Amino acid sequence: MKTIIIDGANGYVASNFINKLLEQKYKVIALVRPSVKFSPTERMAEALTKSGDGKYVNMDNLKVLGYSLLHKDFLIPQKQLEEIFSEEVDYFHFAASLKFDLKSKEEIFETNVGGVANSINVFSKFAKGYSRFFFIGTAYSCGRFSGRFEEKFYPNEDIGKFRNYYEQSKRVAENIVKENIDKNGLNGHVIRLSQVVGNNKTGVTKTDYGIFDFAKRIHSLAFRNPNQTVRVHVDPFSTQNLIPVDTVINYLQRTVEVKHVPTIMNFIAKNQVKNIHIIKSINRLLPIDIVPEKQLARHEMNALERIISAGMTFTESYIDTNLLFDTSNLDQILMVDGHEANENSVHKMLEYFFDNLATQKRKRAMISAL
Ligand X SMILES: NC(=O)c1ccc[n+]([C@@H]2O[C@H](COP(=O)([O-])OP(=O)(O)OC[C@H]3O[C@@H](n4cnc5c(N)ncnc54)[C@H](OP(=O)(O)O)[C@@H]3O)[C@@H](O)[C@H]2O)c1
Q: Which residues bind ligand X (CB under 6 A)?
A: 8, 10-14, 33, 69, 94-98, 111, 136, 138, 193, 195-196, 209-210
Q: How far is the CB of 370 from ligand X (least distance, A)?
A: 28
C-alpha span between 74 and 68 (Å, rounded) = 5
Nearer to ligand X, 267 or 354 (CB): 267
Q: How far is the CB of 131 from ligand X (least distance, A)?
A: 20
C-alpha span between 29 and 61 (Å, rounded) = 9
Q: How far is the CB of 166 from ligand X (least distance, A)?
A: 7
- DSSP β-bridge partners for residue 293: 233
C-alpha span between 100 and 317 (Å, rounded) = 11
Q: How far is the CB of 229 from ligand X (least distance, A)?
A: 30
In the bound state, the residue with its beta carbon closest to ligand X is 11
Pairing of strands 273-274, 89-93: unpaired
Say what the alpha-carbon torsion angle 147, 150, 153, 154 is, to the nearest 10 degrees.
0
Nearer to ligand X, 10 or 309 (CB): 10
Judge whether 206 and 11 are in contact, CB under 8 Å.
no
Q: How far is the CB of 369 from ligand X (least distance, A)?
A: 30
Nearer to ligand X, 136 or 308 (CB): 136
Nearest to 289 by CA among 226, 345, 343, 233: 226
- How far lies 173's CA from each of 19, 137, 154, 178, 300, in Å? 27, 8, 11, 9, 40
H or E stretch including 181?
Answer: helix 165-184
Q: How far is the CB of 16 from ligand X (least distance, A)?
A: 8
State the burial class of residue 164 (Cβ atoms within 10 Å of its Cβ: 0-12, 13-18, 19+).
Answer: buried
Nearer to ligand X, 272 or 301 (CB): 272
Q: How far is the CB of 204 from ligand X (least distance, A)?
A: 15
Q: How far is the CB of 83 from ligand X (least distance, A)?
A: 21
C-alpha span between 41 and 32 (Å, rounded) = 8
Nearer to ligand X, 50 or 274 (CB): 50
CA 227 to chain centre: 33
Nearer to ligand X, 116 or 301 (CB): 116
Q: Where are the beta strands (DSSP E) in the chain?
A: 3-7, 27-32, 62-66, 89-93, 132-138, 148-149, 188-193, 195-197, 228-233, 239-240, 242-244, 264-267, 273-274, 288-293, 324-325
